[in-house]
A = this chain, B = another copy of it.
Amino acid sequence: MNKRPATLKDVAAAAGVSTSTVSMILNRRSQFKPEVEARVREAILALNYRQNPGARSMVTGLFGSIGLVVLDIRNPHFTNVVHGASIKAQAYGYNLIVVDLKEDISHATQTVDNLARRVDGLILSLRLTEEARDLPRELGKPAVLFGQTLQGHFQDLQTPSIQIRGREASMLLGRHILETGRRRIMYVGYSRSIWNADRVGALREIAGDAEVMEMSVDTQTMEAGEAIAASIVYGPQKVDAIVCYNDVIAIGLLHGLCDLGVRVPEDISIAGFDNIAVSRYVTPSLTTVDMRSEDLGSRSLERLHLAIESRDPGPTAVLLEPRLMVRASTQGSAK
């Protein structure tokens, strides 16, 4: 209808008061003559007035929004992070601006830089470039980093973080697999992730005399997992258990194995990380480690809220405990 939305000035004029009166009534709770306030509210309704958040931001420096940068929204792990953050954002009254990098971190710095100027704070994946991770601090914007711990790295971050203990996750899973009598474990990694080394490293550490082999895929898709099945089955090395970088890859690989006539878990057992919803619904249901995706998102948002409100940041790192989810895909002993 109105091509030009009503402004504060219009409301003030209509109510016969000054703009500052309207502004105060809208924002602070300072008392006004009931009569004046009523007139103002009436005018607001009549003109269908809405604050212009941009103009407001310019003077207050506040945006009422939080930016969340994820690596790949199609990965249910990140979707769950978004969901967790979104719930808390709603609770605190923030807008959540989700930006998907589509696994391409080469523009991460630019993305963060761009986003930082429109939000009160940022939630970033730990897997971004260091430059991108540090940018908020340089810009003086509150930020929270989320992701997995990384041995020898994220302990003394300059930015608060919510981290899931990655090596513990690997160990939980590794221990479980060893307990089922498997001795020839193939780790299928994701070449572009900084967490690969920790995953397989922790696995090796507790493997003892069991052998840990390694392969990797370079896209995080079920297709990639499926495609690698043949090289494992027909490869030179005998394998009786497979640990995948995440559930997405594991589900693809599981399917690929079944197509090749491999019995899971009898011939080869298989597991992933993340505990995405569908893992419980594939056949056999997939053993995995719950990486607390949703908690990662909600805790990050809460932590950021604190930093924005109370100015009480302190680059503390919260460590979340992974949870082993044993399901059919690793059930039963080998042989």
Contacts and interface: CB of A to CB of B under 8 A. Distances in A.
Interface stretch (A207-215, A231-239, A274-282): A274-282
Contact of A74 (B50, B58, B80, B251): B80
Interface in A208-261: 221-222, 226, 251-252, 254-255, 258
Interface string A115-157: 1011000000000000000000011100000000000000000
Contacts of A79: 73-74, 79
Nearest to A258: B283
A8 to B, nearest CB: 13
B222 A278 contact: yes
Contacts of A314: none
A285 B254 CA distance: 12
Contacts of A255: 280-281, 283, 285
A174 B125 CA distance: 44
Interface residues of A, number: 52
Contact of A54 (B73, B100, B118, B280): B118
Interface in A272-328: 277-278, 280-283, 285
Given A54-B117, A98-B98, A139 B5 contact: yes
Most chain B CB within a 10 A radius of its CB, from A79, A87, A140: A79
A157 to B, nearest CB: 18
A331 to B, nearest CB: 15
A102 interface: yes
Contacts of A118: 53-54, 65, 95
Contact of A83 (B2, B102, B280): B102
Nearest to A139: B5
Nearest to A86: B100
Contacts of A63: 54
Contacts of A96: 98-100
A76 B82 CA distance: 13
A86 B102 contact: yes
Given A83-B100, A278-B222, A117 B74 contact: no
Contacts of A251: 278, 281
A73 to B, nearest CB: 6
Interface string A46-86: 00001011110110000101000000011010011011001
A178 interface: no
Contacts of A5: 139
B222 A277 contact: yes
Interface of A: 1-3, 5, 50, 52-55, 57-58, 63, 65, 73-74, 76, 79-80, 82-83, 86-87, 95-100, 102, 113-115, 117-118, 138-140, 221-222, 226, 251-252, 254-255, 258, 277-278, 280-283, 285
- A-B residue pairs, 5 tightest by C-beta: A283-B283, A98-B98, A255-B281, A97-B97, A86-B100
